[in-house]
Chains A and B, each alone.
Chain A
Amino acid sequence: MLDFALKRFAGVIIVLLITSFVVFALIGLMPGDPIDLLMSANPNMMPEDVAKLKAIYGVDQPLWNRYTHWLADAIRGDFGFSRIQHRPVIDVVLPALANTIILTFTAFVISVSLALVLGTLAAVNRGGWVDRLISFLTFLGISVPGFWLGLVFIYLFAVKLGVLPAGGMPRPDQPYPAIAYLALPCLTLILIEVGGLTRYVRSAMIEALSQDYIRTARAKGQSESMIVWQHGLRNAMIPVMTIVALGFGHLLSGATLIETMFGWRGMGRLIYEAIMGNDYNLALICLLFTTTMVLLGSIVADLSYSLLDPRIGLSGKQR
């Protein structure tokens, strides 16, 4: 397993290098460099000033030179300054990351737990009213746009009932406790995520419960709950784990729409603002971070197969 993990991590480094160049190039191709944006704010700028500032900011250099300069600094741990916020990129990213972890991890744990229970119930009661009800709710969750759902919750809980804040980050001078600010964005994210996850779990459980070993376990007189939760779910977890691990990686890139709707200062919103503001350094680090999380999620998924089913070898061979 250590061998496997090391090889995969080496692969992550290579992918990150390629991604960093591609992202750097794509951002560079976007119209409007930082000096163009300065010119929009100051129409009296003279051509000499433009040339001077372009040289200072380094945007007059060829793309490859700018990239290698950035890479050399990044390897030394210097990720540069955010052009918009004029602070070190790390100082900008870390608080946003913490906020995203709080929001998405909470939503993720609840979503996965709910999905496992609902998906299993639906599979066990396949065709019955429980299955139909759960299926209907999951289709609703998949179909309803997240930003619309968020808006409905704001109007219901904040405007009409007045029991939760309409958005923003927790502040000491506000009447609501800190957890109240998490409630609505978390609820929205859960309802968006749980639908799809439940469908996967249901599908995987139906497959697992139709296997011969389940019939054998019943024939041996094992209780239904042991059959479902121990034998069935454990085997169903293998395909589900792929979705969960990859989903977790994506979650750490933030939920842009939800964060914008609720004013939650997370990674999703940060990435969007960095790209729209042509903030090279910040956009690059944010995008590389999300790429890393997705890749790591994939590695965790692969490693977990072996843990869930000892028959699966990480070299790709069945034992």
Chain B
Amino acid sequence: MTGFTANGEVICQLCTEVPSIANGRAKVIKRDDGTDGMEVNFTLKDNLFWADGEPVTAKDVVFGFEVEKAFSVPPTVDRVDAIDAKNIKVILRVVRYDFDRSAPAPLSEHIEGPIFRAAINPLDYGQKSLFNRKPEEPGLWMGPYRIVEFRPNESVTLEPNIYWKGQKPYFKKVTFRLVENTSALQANLLSGAVDMVATGNVGLTLDQHLSMMKTASDKFDWEFVPAVSSYEHLAVQFDNPILADRKVRQAIQLSIDRKTLVERVFGNRFEIAQSFKHPTQFGWDADVKKYPYDPKAARALLEQAGYKLGSDKILTNEKGERLSIDLVSTSGNRIRELIEQVIQTQLKAVGIEIVIKNEPARVMFGETLRQRKFNGLVEFQTDAQLDTVPYIYYHSSQIPTEQNSWTGLNYMGYKNPVMDSALMDAWKALDSDVRKLAWKKILEITAEDLPEIFLFFPTSAVLTPKWMTGVVNSSRWGLVTAWIEQWRAK
């Protein structure tokens, strides 16, 4: 229903106006149980049609909510009602700052509705849904293009949706191919078998882009777009008494020379992360505590924490325990393995021993992280939505446990009542000034407590052939295909 500008402001994609308290489309209401909730009203644009000619209506939005509920009940949305063909009312169970993006995505009710209602459970629906059985069905799609050919695990071919009323798409056919090997992908690009590659972690690696910029700049243009909602970091295991000490965490942050890492490994294309929040985003506070590379200050902190240098140049505490920490990341990821080695060397220089224990991504994300089976640090990238209050990452209720079926993303086991309170304040704040204050608090606590060791914000390299334009949109956030109707040949 809604999208974002590059700075994280909410914009309408399918709606006529972003709901706000000021324009009367959103208001706080009293629920039957006496608690506060919200009523948010959206109006669909008039010019939206499914690719079979049927108009997109409020019924489709309500249906989208029904399907979503069948798999997992949205924790804060009470119900979604169709007021008329174009108007939707969303009732929220709580007061929340992101009410303006609470409308579910529409699903084609006239195509999928009968299938969904005939299914015995969500699994049965998934197996019978035309999204899986026959994605070429025109009525499933409403954007500038629709799927005309789907070859599972191979390719998807799109042609323009003749009922699309927005900017007319230029290309008569667009095919997305799956090429799993990055070297083969690069070869496909150079041979002309493909014209573009996906951005982010899915396409070429950064060093492939940097290498091609030297050898193929006559064929392609590059633009580097910061991934403002993704960041690379080390999650910290708070159950480890060594890492439970804030001084140790701060010392680790001070001991990593991120500037040199970004310059040497990433050709200065990545940005150092002082926090999980990118400086261009709402809520950023430029006065937040920063951690430059300062091994001297790190050693001083470790001394204050009671560590002294042992004969093997590794710090030990009063009990004689060595300051040795495991570092886990995804095996087979060359860049991460390189970063780990750099971190290992730099931390050794201050007397911290890092033992690298990598695992396949499947194991690390499937079990080690989710069930908190690591005992030191874990390096990975978090990809969040724009303008997300980091409730699921930092609130103490979001620690995965066996009792809660390992839900929640607070893998660190971080518990800070002051942070919990700041998170809830930010989450409930409808006024942007109040929210800004809450964000300031969250950033201050994060910078002081360091529940994660922040490394950098990655950058997406957007590669386009010289004959193309319109692929990069510096005012919008999202995958480049979100404005595919703007792609043109020069």
Contacts and interface: CB of A to CB of B under 8 A. Distances in A.
A273 B153 contact: yes
Interface stretch (B86-94, B403-411, B440-448): B403-411
A183 to B, nearest CB: 14
Interface string B167-181: 000000100011111
A46 B72 CA distance: 7
Contacts of B363: 31-32
Interface stretch (A129-137, A155-163, A205-213, A219-227): A155-163
A270 to B, nearest CB: 8
A51 B405 contact: yes
Interface stretch (B18-26, B120-128, B254-262): B120-128
Interface string A270-288: 1001001010000000000
B151 interface: yes
Interface string A38-57: 11101111111111011011
Contacts of A261: 181, 183-184
Nearest to B179: A263
A159 B133 contact: no
Nearest to B184: A261
Given A32-B366, A47-B404, A56 B187 contact: no
B412 to A, nearest CB: 15
Contacts of A54: 405
A73 B184 CA distance: 40
B152 interface: yes
A150 B188 CA distance: 13
A42 B184 contact: no
Interface stretch (A81-89, A119-127, A235-243, A310-318): A81-89
A41 B177 CA distance: 23
A50 B408 CA distance: 12
Interface residues of A, number: 52
Interface stretch (A6-14, A165-173, A296-304): A165-173
Contacts, number: 134
Contact of A57 (B123, B179, B404): B123
A87 to B, nearest CB: 7
B183 A151 contact: yes
A169 B154 contact: yes
Nearest to B367: A31
A276 to B, nearest CB: 6
Interface string B393-437: 000000000011111110000000000000000000000000000
Contacts of A45: 72, 407
B365 A32 contact: yes
Contacts of A48: 73
B429 to A, nearest CB: 20
B53 interface: no
A294 interface: no
Interface residues of B, number: 47
A50 to B, nearest CB: 4
A30 interface: yes
A81 B367 contact: no
Contact of A86 (B73, B127, B178): B127
B72 A154 contact: no
A127 B406 CA distance: 67
Interface in B345-371: 362-363, 365-368, 370
A276 B362 CA distance: 7
Interface string B438-471: 0000000000000000000000000000000000
Interface in A150-202: 150-151, 154-155, 158-159, 162, 165-169, 171, 173
B193 interface: yes
A44 B188 CA distance: 38
Contacts of A30: 362, 366
A166 B392 CA distance: 44
A49 B191 contact: no
Contacts of B151: 169, 265
A219 B219 CA distance: 70
A36 B366 contact: yes
A147 B154 CA distance: 20
A72 interface: no
A150 B190 CA distance: 16
B366 A87 contact: no
B405 A86 contact: no
A28 B488 CA distance: 48
20 contacts: A30-B366, A32-B365, A32-B367, A38-B71, A42-B72, A44-B392, A45-B72, A45-B407, A46-B75, A53-B71, A158-B193, A166-B191, A167-B187, A167-B188, A168-B155, A168-B193, A260-B180, A263-B177, A263-B179, A265-B151
Interface of A: 30-32, 36-40, 42-51, 53-54, 56-57, 81, 85-87, 92, 147, 150-151, 154-155, 158-159, 162, 165-169, 171, 173, 260-263, 265, 269-270, 273, 276, 278
Interface of B: 71-75, 121-123, 126-127, 129, 132-133, 151-155, 173, 177-181, 183-184, 187-188, 190-193, 362-363, 365-368, 370, 392, 403-409
Across the A-B interface, the 7 shortest Cβ-Cβ residue pairs: A32-B366, A31-B367, A86-B132, A31-B366, A49-B72, A50-B405, A158-B191
